[in-house]
């Protein structure tokens, strides 16, 4: 039998690298743990982590149902802008949002000043309630957008038939909309629960203390302050196991809606009038105020501080931009390669691409910290490690965004490119990329913005002179230099949105060319 050369695709090496990074980090923290016996304060951190994630996911989903339903069935001026507002938290740096929430819900914020005028007790933004408020701020828009897409996927003729039969709104909800919620809501709640498990920056700025410490915050404290590598490894192992279990459950709970064929209801439906119209208006107005007020608070607090910017802010900005660009390019290239492999039939690659969902920046950072610490000063590799971790963690989002488009391209042009004998690089350049330009630009911009505002692994590795802009904002907040922190946050928001806009515009330009 003649020997045949077997060509190994780039997707195979990428998959091997991802498995090695995730699995190696998990193995490193598991092997480094001194014991697997949890102390009482570790159990407290675990309970608080699960409690805040459960409350955050539950409130986000509960509020998203009437919000998405109101957006689906109401026409009003500015509706499209309101829907776009739902995407703002995706590219908003966490530390900026926290700073805005402090401006609104803090001791001297308008809410507590109003409560004090009415002789009512003030609301504290710190602790469990602060963490939950911040998580709802980020995840309510996410849940709303996902449910809105689900409502719009219900065939329009179903609603027309129900209206022609004289079905009241309650019956329409029971027979048409409730099946949608049963199909989508469990998966959405599990995904938000997973996001809340790994929200280190929120816990760092609004949590803290023995009664409000998450697992990730406990890992950070064990490494940076106590230098207890064994305890940090134990907590990281527990965090990885918890995230992996939730990831598997989220995949299991994602099911099809089963409405059958029909034309999707992309147009806004005519909703019932009367008191229901008033309820929808109040709900949308309350959500708009909740989302916009913290952003306005950052602007109001930050503009005066622009005249007295902190030292080193421009170097921190350059580091953040460099990290964001590199991680976005790496994540995009990896997502295209893996999604293309899945579109060509390598279904196992899909599992590998979603594997980073089981990890978090603190777990990956802890594993890399334990691996690198015996050989070098970890501060010297803070930025490269941050690039690798950010690219890995943004990969699943890009992969999910690009996979449907690449499947369609493979279905339309796969046989043609194969019959012409086009090399993979030529097919990528002339067939795939021109038709992938719009989602590719949007996804790359999204990855760059997410990396720009990340405050995870850099907090473990960076020294005093290697801070990125989000870390600088967090340090200014810790030093109670709130005006300078707000000014730096404004610059961070501007840079994040600029990166997102530039890549999105580039993708749209080539798509329309």
CATH code for position 80: 1.10.3720.10
CA distances from 362 to 5, 150, 202 (A): 41, 33, 13
Same domain, 367 and 460: yes
User: Given this model, what pLDDT does residue 252 score?
Assistant: 65
User: Given this model, what pLDDT does residue 75 score?
Assistant: 77
Q: Name the band, by pLDDT with cuts 50, 70 and 90, for residue 175.
A: low
Summarize pLDDT for 444-491 with one digit per residue, the tens: 988 898 888 887 788 778 777 778 888 888 888 888 788 888 888 889
**CB 391, CB 336: distance < 8 Å:** no
User: Given this model, what pLDDT does residue 116 score?
Assistant: 84
Number of domains in the chain: 2
User: Given this model, what pLDDT does residue 52 score?
Assistant: 92
Same domain, 261 and 379: no
Same domain, 322 and 450: yes
The per-residue pLDDT of the chain, averaged, comes to 80
The SS3 assignment for 271 reads coil
CA distances from 376 to 351, 368, 369, 373 (A): 34, 12, 10, 6
Summarize pLDDT for 69-128 with one digit per residue, the tens: 888 877 777 777 777 777 677 677 888 888 888 888 888 888 888 888 888 888 888 888
**CB 359, CB 26: distance < 8 Å:** yes
User: Given this model, what pLDDT does residue 180 score?
Assistant: 75
Same domain, 278 and 157: yes
Distance CA 219, CA 130 (A): 20
Q: Where is the domain boundary, 267, 300, 333?
A: 300
Q: Which residue has the tokens 């067939």?
A: 431
As given in the structure block, the two tokens for residue 257 are 């809606």
User: Given this model, what pLDDT does residue 263 score?
Assistant: 42
Distance CA 484, CA 304 (A): 9
For residue 480, is it within any domain? yes
For residue 7, is it within any domain? no
**CB 457, CB 372: distance < 8 Å:** no
Distance CA 24, CA 492 (A): 33
> How many C-beta atoms lie closer than 10 Å to residue 199's C-beta?
26
User: Given this model, what pLDDT does residue 6 score?
Assistant: 44
For residue 376, is it within any domain? yes
For residue 486, is it within any domain? yes
For residue 27, is it within any domain? no
Mean pLDDT for 16-41 is 82
Q: Name the band, by pLDDT with cuts 50, 70 and 90, for residue 265.
A: very low
Same domain, 70 and 144: yes
Distance CA 181, CA 338 (A): 31
Q: Where is the domain boundary, 244, 279, 300?
A: 300
Q: Name the band, by pLDDT with cuts 50, 70 and 90, for residue 216.
A: confident
For residue 373, is it within any domain? yes
In which domain, by residue range, is 242 found?
49-300
> How many C-beta atoms lie closer than 10 Å to residue 267's C-beta?
10
Same domain, 206 and 268: yes
Same domain, 171 and 286: yes
Same domain, 280 and 358: no
Same domain, 243 and 364: no
As given in the structure block, the two tokens for residue 84 are 């776009």
Residue 5 pLDDT > 60, yes or no?
no
Same domain, 288 and 323: no
Distance CA 232, CA 215 (A): 9
- Whole-model pTM: value is 0.77
More confident residue, 257 or 147: 147
Q: Where is the domain boundary, 277, 300, 323?
A: 300
For residue 332, is it within any domain? yes
Same domain, 80 and 197: yes
For residue 42, is it within any domain? no
Same domain, 268 and 251: yes
* Best-predicted range by mean pLDDT (72-81, 370-379, 495-504): 495-504
Residue 341 pLDDT > 70, yes or no?
yes
As given in the structure block, the two tokens for residue 312 are 């080193």
**CB 339, CB 399: distance < 8 Å:** yes
């Amino acid at each position: 039998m003649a020997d045949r050369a077997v060509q190994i695709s780039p997707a195979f090496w990428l998959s091997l690298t991802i498995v090695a990074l995730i699995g190696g980090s998990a193995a490193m923290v598991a092997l480094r743990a001194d014991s697997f016996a949890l102390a009482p304060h570790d159990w407290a951190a675990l309970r608080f982590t699960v409690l805040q994630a459960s409350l955050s996911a539950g409130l986000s989903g509960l509020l998203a149902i009437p919000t998405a339903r109101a957006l689906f069935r109401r026409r009003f001026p500015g509706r499209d802008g309101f829907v776009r507002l739902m995407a703002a938290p995706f590219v908003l740096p966490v530390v900026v949002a926290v700073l805005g929430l402090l401006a609104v819900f803090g001791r001297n914020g308008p809410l507590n000043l109003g409560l004090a005028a009415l002789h009512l007790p003030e609301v504290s933004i710190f602790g469990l309630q602060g963490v939950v408020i911040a998580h709802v701020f980020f995840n309510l828009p996410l849940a709303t957008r996902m449910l809105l897409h689900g409502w719009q996927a219900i065939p329009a003729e179903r609603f027309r038939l129900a209206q022609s039969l004289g079905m009241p709104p309650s019956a329409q909800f029971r027979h048409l909309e409730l099946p949608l919620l049963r199909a989508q809501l469990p998966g959405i709640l599990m995904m938000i629960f997973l996001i809340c498990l790994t929200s280190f920056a929120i816990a760092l700025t609004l949590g803290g203390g023995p009664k409000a410490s998450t697992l990730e915050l406990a890992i950070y404290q064990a490494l940076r302050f106590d230098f207890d590598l064994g305890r940090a490894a134990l907590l990281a192992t527990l965090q990885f196991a918890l995230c992996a279990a939730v990831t598997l459950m989220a995949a299991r709970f994602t099911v099809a809606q089963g409405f059958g064929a029909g034309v999707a209801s992309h147009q806004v439906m005519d909703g019932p009038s009367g008191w229901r119209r008033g309820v929808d208006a109040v709900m949308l107005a309350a959500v708009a105020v909740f989302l916009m007020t913290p952003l306005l608070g950052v602007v109001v607090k930050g503009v005066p501080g622009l005249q007295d910017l902190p030292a080193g802010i421009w170097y921190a900005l350059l580091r953040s931009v460099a990290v964001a660009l590199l991680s976005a390019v790496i994540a995009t290239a990896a997502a295209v390669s893996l999604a293309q492999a899945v579109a060509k039939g390598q279904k196992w690659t899909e599992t590998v691409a979603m594997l980073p969902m089981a990890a978090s920046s603190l777990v990956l950072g802890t594993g890399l910290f334990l691996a690198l610490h015996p050989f070098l000063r970890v501060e010297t590799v803070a930025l490269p490690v941050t690039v690798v971790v950010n690219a890995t963690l943004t990969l699943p989002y890009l992969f999910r965004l690009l996979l449907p488009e690449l499947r369609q391209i493979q279905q339309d042009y796969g046989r043609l490119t194969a019959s012409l004998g086009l090399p993979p690089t030529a097919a990528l350049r002339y067939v795939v990329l021109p038709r992938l330009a719009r989602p590719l630009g949007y996804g790359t911009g999204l990855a760059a913005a997410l990396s720009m505002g990340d405050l995870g692994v850099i907090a473990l590795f960076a020294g005093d002179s290697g801070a990125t802009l989000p870390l600088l904002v967090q340090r200014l907040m810790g030093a109670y230099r709130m005006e300078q922190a707000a000014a730096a946050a404004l610059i961070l928001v501007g840079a994040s949105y600029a990166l997102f806009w530039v890549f999105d515009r580039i993708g749209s330009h080539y798509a329309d060319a």
